[in-house]
A and B are shown apart, each in its own frame.
Chain A
Amino acid sequence: MTDRTDAPRDKRRLPQINPVWFLLAALIVAIIFMNPGFVEPTGYMNFLKRAAPLAILAAGQVYVITSGGFDLSVGSLITLVVVGSSMLTNNDPTATYWVIPVMLGIGLGVGLVNGLVVCVLRVPSLIATLGMMITLNGLAFLWSGGAPRGYLPDTFRFFGRELIRDVPLVRFIPVSVIVLIVVVGLLAWLMHRTNLGRHVHAIGDNPIAARLAGVAVNRVRITAFMISGLSGALAGILLGGFAGVSTDVGTGYELQAITAAVLGGAQLLGGRGSVPAAVGGALALTAIFTLLNFLGLPQPVRQVVQGLILIAAVALAMHRRKQTGT
């Protein structure tokens, strides 16, 4: 092969803004147009509150996608967390203080098992986490005997449901939005300012090169799955706050999280991914669902639209890559 010298085409990349922000802006303008009340704190704060579980989930999923894998187990993990919390708290408000750490521990544990199955048993992550999805769903049924109890104590629902009032400028902030900001801030810092984040990118880009360069590939990969598992547990705790307890509360969230990450420009099979952009993708997806609601379209149409968005986003990304020549 002949050498290529520095291609000049990369120079005009400097002011590049991730297209997901334009999409989000356009969607928000559309929402405001249809419902002017959205500019009021009750409007956008409620929107953020509803988007928080998905946004956190997407921020975790982007770790696994950037490292070159998929995590399809987070949806059923949410279900397990919600069902398990209702079983463990058993209507005792004081139980919340130990149940929440236990749930976070379960999230980390599920991520650890996913990571070990992928790294040690060498099962492709898609199969490994799909298997985990079936297993966790079964566990949720098994735990609740197929009929989960109706509600969680208010102390548990605090995170998903409560508002902090009398805040200047915005009047009130939902607790879930504070959780969202803290978690996303932390995950964004971890992804874009630490060695871990660089290694997540490197192993997704080229695992062989990363290993030969001394990167502890398995440790990084397992950590990525654990972060995703933790984000699933957090999303479950928030969802437990405003959705009811049922065995399908988490259904479909795994695909929404992947769609959000892809909308945010994360590259499937690894190497590129951004936590803020994935959160932007989650907000955009929630905004689309909100719009569909305003238009009075039935729930199942959301699925159709989500499927189309997922395919279109990946197809567009592939098209762009072909043009810039990867």
Chain B
Amino acid sequence: MTDPVIEMRGITKTFPGVRALSDVSFDVRPGEVQALVGENGAGKSTLIKILSGVYQADSGAVHMNGEAVHFAHPVESLKAGIAVIYQEFSLLPERTVAQNLFLGREPRGRFGLIDGARMRAETREVLSLFAAAGRIDPDRTVGELDVATQQVVEIAKAVSTGAKVVVMDEPTAALNEAECEELFATVDTLRERGVAIIYITHRMREITRLADRVTVLKDGEIAARFDDVPAPDAIVRAMVGRDIKDFYAPPATPDEIGETVLSVRGGGNAMLHDIDLDVRAGEIVGLAGIQGAGRVALAMALFGQTPFERGEVTLNGEVVSFHSPRAAIRGGVGLLPGDRKAEGLVLMQSVRDNGMLTSRAFGRLWGSDRKNAHADTGRMDGLLDHMEIRAASYDQDIRALSGGNQQKAIVARWLSMRPKLLIFIEPTRGIDVNSKAGIYHLMRDLAREGAGILMISSDLPEVIGAADRVLVMQEGRIAAAFAHGATEQEIMHAATGEGEVAA
């Protein structure tokens, strides 16, 4: 057996108030695919960021080829031969494939000028390793390529730097079935070339297909290590390792479910086609699918940000057509964005200001900021107390709060508005495991009070556990529907367009 190229020993990392990793040891050998699995927040990304030098470990050591290494910056780890392929690509959309591949290390010819011909030739050579090679012209602008092809370019970039270790962070998140197969072939190619691959995923099928060994992280610790790939059940047990019944709020009972709040018939726009959708009062409808399947587009269409161009939307019995979020909110729709920092929070303002943002938006412009038709500061503080938000003061800037507390402040924004339909996008992304349960119970409480809830999530266990029904989207259409209790496999099949479309 070959010696490991990377060996991490006893890694511990603490962030203020949270122990992200404690005493984690991990290794990967040349020519193997080591799957790193775990739920969101289990510590996978932190471990990778320590490996690549984005973070520094509090204690523990990283060895490369038997020698202790210490990366203070990602550039150093890259030079040492560790390439990380993040979900958000680091490609420049305005530059060509060849220019991206050789970014920062362009081959030079006469007079120190860039040797374009050699750059293109080497690009072709690197790309020829991959099945997608025929599709990719080194002179094409990267922005013109589809996501899957961009990913190939990103991987090719790693290969061309001579990376000995390639880390892939949920690489199939945005891919359809055929593209996934192509990616698997690419991974096989890398493995044959003796590259060590750390493959982060939580899809069992990919583990079975690709992995040589599996390491499971849970709550910042190693939960299990498998030298052979075990049955999916064993991995899931190690990943979750707790009683799901307490974690998620119980599903709605039939008498809790009321009238239809929202109904869409034949809805469509540039990204959506033939959307038929009903959400009833008191129920949580989960919306699953791969990235780019149109889930967010559907949310944004319902919310008036990128409106429907076809079809009919009925909200509480009235035909409506929203052309701005403001109109949608006035009509009784609320939305919690998926990217809290970029789309949800006004970070430099106080916790209370964040909670009152929407109610103030519907008060008179010249009216007092302390009181409006939907809320006043006293009642808002009461709401924030009720949700047990941990903050030194509600006058504190919200950016100092943890993700879970920030999310609760956004929920408070909607509590004062009492929307009929509330859309949650990735409600627990970046939130620690303990706060997650709080968010689930909050969602359930809202449903019990009569709201219809649409929950978009990429976290399959979450969709299955927290929703009463699951709809699966694929290529802008609703491809399948499942009652509570569907399995991950069923949903994945529907989401990737594999197998028959279910009822």
The answer to whether any beta carbons of A and B sit under 8 Å apart in the complex is yes
Q: Establish whether residues A214 and B361, one from each chain, have CB atoms under 8 Å apart when the complex forms.
A: yes
Q: Establish whether residues B20 and A194, one from each chain, have CB atoms under 8 Å apart when the complex forms.
A: no
Docked complex Cα distance between A190 and B396 (Å): 22
Q: Establish whether residues B45 and A214, one from each chain, have CB atoms under 8 Å apart when the complex forms.
A: no
> Which residues A190-236 have CB closer than 8 A to chain B?
190, 193-199, 201-202, 205-206, 208-216, 219-220, 223
Indicate if B289 sits at the interface (CB-CB under 8 A).
no
Shortest C-beta distance, B407 to chain A (Å), equals 10
Indicate if A272 sits at the interface (CB-CB under 8 A).
yes
Indicate if B1 sits at the interface (CB-CB under 8 A).
no
Most buried by A among B45, B353, B361, B405: B361
* Contact residue among B343, B365, B390 (Cβ-Cβ distance under 8 Å from A6): B390
**Scoring A residues 130 to 164 as 1 if CB is less than 8 Å from chain B, else 0, what string do you get?**
00000000000000000000000000000000000
Indicate if B138 sits at the interface (CB-CB under 8 A).
no
The residues of B that contact A6 with a CB separation of less than 8 Å are 17, 390-392, 396, 400-402, 405
Indicate if A298 sits at the interface (CB-CB under 8 A).
no
Q: Establish whether residues B360 and A4, one from each chain, have CB atoms under 8 Å apart when the complex forms.
A: no
Q: Establish whether residues B403 and A3, one from each chain, have CB atoms under 8 Å apart when the complex forms.
A: yes
Docked complex Cα distance between A149 and B153 (Å): 68
The residues of B that contact A2 with a CB separation of less than 8 Å are 15, 18, 20, 41, 43, 46, 432
Q: Which residue of chain B lies nearest to A197 when distances are taken between CB atoms in the complex? A: B369
Q: Establish whether residues B366 and A205, one from each chain, have CB atoms under 8 Å apart when the complex forms.
A: no
Q: Establish whether residues A209 and B325, one from each chain, have CB atoms under 8 Å apart when the complex forms.
A: no
**How many A-B pairs with Cβ below 8 Å?**
153
Indicate if A299 sits at the interface (CB-CB under 8 A).
no
The residues of A that contact B400 with a CB separation of less than 8 Å are 4, 6-7, 9-10
Indicate if B363 sits at the interface (CB-CB under 8 A).
yes
Shortest C-beta distance, A185 to chain B (Å), equals 15
* Contact residue among B346, B364, B399, B402 (Cβ-Cβ distance under 8 Å from A202): B346
Q: Establish whether residues B18 and A193, one from each chain, have CB atoms under 8 Å apart when the complex forms.
A: no
The residues of A that contact B432 with a CB separation of less than 8 Å are 2-3
The residues of B that contact A205 with a CB separation of less than 8 Å are 346-349
Q: Establish whether residues B20 and A213, one from each chain, have CB atoms under 8 Å apart when the complex forms.
A: no
Indicate if A53 sits at the interface (CB-CB under 8 A).
no
The residues of A that contact B367 with a CB separation of less than 8 Å are 194-195
Q: Establish whether residues A212 and B305, one from each chain, have CB atoms under 8 Å apart when the complex forms.
A: yes
* Contact residue among B305, B349, B368 (Cβ-Cβ distance under 8 Å from A201): B349
* Contact residue among B353, B366, B404 (Cβ-Cβ distance under 8 Å from A190): B366
Docked complex Cα distance between A9 and B396 (Å): 11
Q: Which residue of chain A lies nearest to B404 when distances are taken between CB atoms in the complex? A: A3
The residues of B that contact A211 with a CB separation of less than 8 Å are 305, 324-326
Q: Establish whether residues A4 and B346, one from each chain, have CB atoms under 8 Å apart when the complex forms.
A: no
Indicate if B413 sits at the interface (CB-CB under 8 A).
yes
Q: Which residue of chain A lies nearest to B329 when distances are taken between CB atoms in the complex? A: A214
Indicate if A322 sits at the interface (CB-CB under 8 A).
no
**Scoring B residues 295 to 325 as 1 if CB is less than 8 Å from chain A, else 0, what string do you get?**
0000000010100000000000000000011
Shortest C-beta distance, B220 to chain A (Å), equals 9
Shortest C-beta distance, A326 to chain B (Å), equals 7
Q: Which residue of chain A lies nearest to B366 when distances are taken between CB atoms in the complex? A: A194
Indicate if A267 sits at the interface (CB-CB under 8 A).
yes
The residues of A that contact B431 with a CB separation of less than 8 Å are 3
Shortest C-beta distance, B335 to chain A (Å), equals 6
Indicate if A122 sits at the interface (CB-CB under 8 A).
no
> Which residues A1-34 have CB closer than 8 A to chain B?
1-11
Q: Establish whether residues A196 and B349, one from each chain, have CB atoms under 8 Å apart when the complex forms.
A: no
Most buried by A among B325, B337, B370: B325
Docked complex Cα distance between A10 and B398 (Å): 11
Q: Establish whether residues A214 and B392, one from each chain, have CB atoms under 8 Å apart when the complex forms.
A: no
* Contact residue among B397, B413, B435 (Cβ-Cβ distance under 8 Å from A213): B413
Docked complex Cα distance between A93 and B289 (Å): 74
Indicate if A281 sits at the interface (CB-CB under 8 A).
no
Q: Establish whether residues B435 and A214, one from each chain, have CB atoms under 8 Å apart when the complex forms.
A: no
Shortest C-beta distance, A322 to chain B (Å), equals 14
Q: Establish whether residues A4 and B369, one from each chain, have CB atoms under 8 Å apart when the complex forms.
A: no
Indicate if A276 sits at the interface (CB-CB under 8 A).
no
Q: Establish whether residues B349 and A212, one from each chain, have CB atoms under 8 Å apart when the complex forms.
A: no
**Scoring B residues 150 to 169 as 1 if CB is less than 8 Å from chain A, else 0, what string do you get?**
00000000000000000000
Indicate if A271 sits at the interface (CB-CB under 8 A).
yes
Q: Which residue of chain A lies nearest to B435 when distances are taken between CB atoms in the complex? A: A3
Q: Establish whether residues B430 and A194, one from each chain, have CB atoms under 8 Å apart when the complex forms.
A: no
* Contact residue among A5, A190, A214, A271 (Cβ-Cβ distance under 8 Å from B325): A214
Indicate if B372 sits at the interface (CB-CB under 8 A).
yes
Most buried by B among A9, A190, A208: A208
The residues of B that contact A199 with a CB separation of less than 8 Å are 360-361, 365
Docked complex Cα distance between A194 and B369 (Å): 4
Q: Establish whether residues B345 and A209, one from each chain, have CB atoms under 8 Å apart when the complex forms.
A: yes
Q: Establish whether residues A216 and B45, one from each chain, have CB atoms under 8 Å apart when the complex forms.
A: no
Most buried by B among A10, A196, A212: A212
Q: Establish whether residues B18 and A223, one from each chain, have CB atoms under 8 Å apart when the complex forms.
A: no
Docked complex Cα distance between A209 and B343 (Å): 4
Shortest C-beta distance, A319 to chain B (Å), equals 17
Q: Establish whether residues B348 and A267, one from each chain, have CB atoms under 8 Å apart when the complex forms.
A: yes
Q: Which residue of chain A lies nearest to B367 when distances are taken between CB atoms in the complex? A: A195
**Scoring B residues 250 to 277 as 1 if CB is less than 8 Å from chain A, else 0, what string do you get?**
0000000000000000000000000000
Docked complex Cα distance between A316 and B20 (Å): 34
Docked complex Cα distance between A211 and B330 (Å): 13
The residues of B that contact A196 with a CB separation of less than 8 Å are 365-366
Indicate if B503 sits at the interface (CB-CB under 8 A).
no
Shortest C-beta distance, A66 to chain B (Å), equals 10
Q: Which residue of chain A lies nearest to B21 when distances are taken between CB atoms in the complex? A: A2
Q: Which residue of chain B lies nearest to A205 when distances are taken between CB atoms in the complex? A: B346
* Contact residue among B303, B368, B401 (Cβ-Cβ distance under 8 Å from A194): B368
Docked complex Cα distance between A195 and B363 (Å): 7
The answer to whether residues A193 and B357 also contact, given A3-B15, A10-B400, A212-B344 and a CB cut-off of 8 A, is: no
Most buried by B among A2, A209, A215: A2
The answer to whether residues A223 and B365 also contact, given A6-B401, A212-B305, A326-B399 and a CB cut-off of 8 A, is: yes
Most buried by B among A9, A215, A272: A215
7 nearest A-B residue pairs (beta carbon): A5-B17, A205-B346, A3-B402, A271-B348, A214-B329, A214-B361, A2-B20
If A209-B342, A214-B330 are given as contacts, then 9 extra A-B residue pairs at C-beta distance below 8 Å, sorted by A number, are A2-B20, A3-B17, A3-B18, A3-B431, A6-B402, A7-B400, A195-B365, A211-B325, A212-B305
Give 18 pairs: A residue, B residue, CB < 8 Å, sorted on A.
A2-B15, A4-B18, A5-B16, A6-B391, A6-B392, A6-B400, A193-B368, A194-B369, A198-B353, A201-B353, A202-B349, A202-B353, A202-B357, A209-B357, A211-B324, A212-B305, A214-B329, A271-B346
